[in-house]
Amino acid sequence: MNNITNKINTLRQAVAEARITVSDPATLEAIRQGTVPKGNVFEMSRAAGLLAIKKTSDVIPDCHPLPVEYAAIQSEIRGDQIHIEVEVHAIYRTGVEVEAMHGAAVTALTMYDMLKPIDKGVEIGTIRLVKKKGGKSQFRDHLHLDLQAAVVVCSDSVSAGSKADKAGLAIREKLEQWEVKVSQYTVIPDEPDAIRKAVAEYTGADGADLLLFTGGTGLSPRDITPETIQPLLDREIPGVMEAARKYGQDRTPFAMLSRGVAGMIGKTLVLTLPGSTNGARETMDALFPYVLHIFRVAQGMRHDA
């Protein structure tokens, strides 16, 4: 199974459909009249399809068990076909399209089993995914803005050359995954003046779109990044780091100790991330690509545009 522990829970939705074609018009009339020998075709197949949705991970090895929070199956006769539509919702880390298609397949197969004694020509047709929503593919903003980022590593040891930087490189790698170009990358000591100088250099009219600091968000005596940057913010965005800490807390009980802040300085989004490689990487997973929606809002676009 794929590792999905780095993903966040979002509302996942999928709609799938299946088609059954009958060879004898009398078959459709038997369905309408409720005279099929094996019982009510629509109700029996609906029950089987709902069970299939919930049991998908039991029969398809690479599917993750997930909490199905809504499932609906609608079947109707159109011409010489029976149209089946299955909709599934879940709030989870992975999509529900296979669950919807599995439900459609088993609904169709149940109908086939019930109808074959009276119609030897009944056929199961196309089973396909109609649409899906949720996850990073939905929330990624395709703004084509050529976003530029500056990454600043705040670390006495890295600045002194006694330790190699890993957190900054992890942030850079994550940014490149989301097509954000890292135009500036620098290492500074844990000094307020150095931090303020970096803020002044990378914000303003010609500054970066994103300015990411890594390091100095903990509770050691030299950790002063948040209190240095917070007074410089034009507008703080508390929910950003609340989301990051919630994501981290689900993975380690020490995430609550991070004091990172986030906000806008002019047109620049400023984020302060932990100095540990894992903490920086997890914060990036928690925030991206969703935080890029800020640049849609900054352009005056609707949230749902």
Q: What is the pLDDT of residues 182-202, one digit of tens each?
A: 999 999 999 999 999 999 999
Residue 71 lies in a domain: yes
pLDDT (0 to 100) of residue 296 = 80
Residue 94: inside a domain, yes or no? Answer: yes
Q: Are 232 and 186 in the same domain?
A: yes
Residue 154's contacts (CB-CB under 8 Å, 6 or more residues apart) are 188, 189, 190, 194, 195, 213, 214, 215, 216, 225, 275
Structural contact between residues 270 and 211, judged by C-beta atoms closer than 8 angstroms: yes
pLDDT of res. 139 = 55
Q: Which of 25-34, 75-84, 137-146, 231-240 has the lowest mean pLDDT?
A: 137-146
Q: Which of 85, 105, 135 is the last residue of a domain?
A: 135
- Do residues 97 and 45 both lie within one domain? yes
Residue 80 forms part of a structural domain? yes
Kindly report which listed range (81-85, 96-100, 227-231, 250-254) carries the lowest average pLDDT score.
250-254
Residues 240 and 282 in one domain: yes
Q: What are the CA-CA distances from residue 149 to residues 55, 181, 183, 206, 269 (Å)?
A: 45, 6, 6, 12, 9
Domain extent, residue 45, equals 10-135
First-to-last alpha carbon distance for the chain, in angstroms, is 35
- The predicted structure's pLDDT at residue 53: 98
What percent helix, strand, coil does the chain show, rounded to 5?
40, 25, 35
Domain for residue 2, yes or no?
A: no
Task: Give the contacts of 93 (CB within 8 A, at least 6 positions apart).
Answer: 4, 5, 7, 8, 9, 10, 64
Would you state the pLDDT for residue 305?
A: 47
Q: Are residue 172 and residue 122 in the same domain, yes or no?
A: no
Could you say which of 96, 115, 135 is where a domain stops?
Answer: 135
Q: Are residues 221 and 104 in the same domain?
A: no
Sign, CA dihedral 89-92-96-102, equals: negative
Do 129 and 244 lie in one domain? The reply is no
- pLDDT at residue 82 tops 80: yes
By CB atoms closer than 10 A (0-12, 13-18, 19+), residue 63 is: middle
> How many domains are contained in the chain?
2
Catalytic site residues? 113
Is residue 55 domain-shared with residue 163, that is, in the same domain?
Answer: no
The answer to whether residue 3 is domain-embedded is: no
Task: Identify whether residues 158 and 293 lie together within a single domain.
Answer: yes
* Residues 24 and 64 both lie in one domain: yes
pLDDT for the residue numbered 144 = 56
Q: Is 4 part of a structural domain of the chain? A: no
The predicted structure's pLDDT at residue 136: 63
Examine the fold and report which residue of 103, 135, 167 is the final residue of a domain before the chain moves on.
Answer: 135
Residues 52 and 160 grouped into a single domain: no
Main-chain dihedrals φ then ψ at residue 228, nearest 5 degrees: -80, -40
Quick check: pTM over 0.85?
no
Does the pLDDT value for residue 6 go beyond 90?
no
The overall average pLDDT reported for the chain is 93
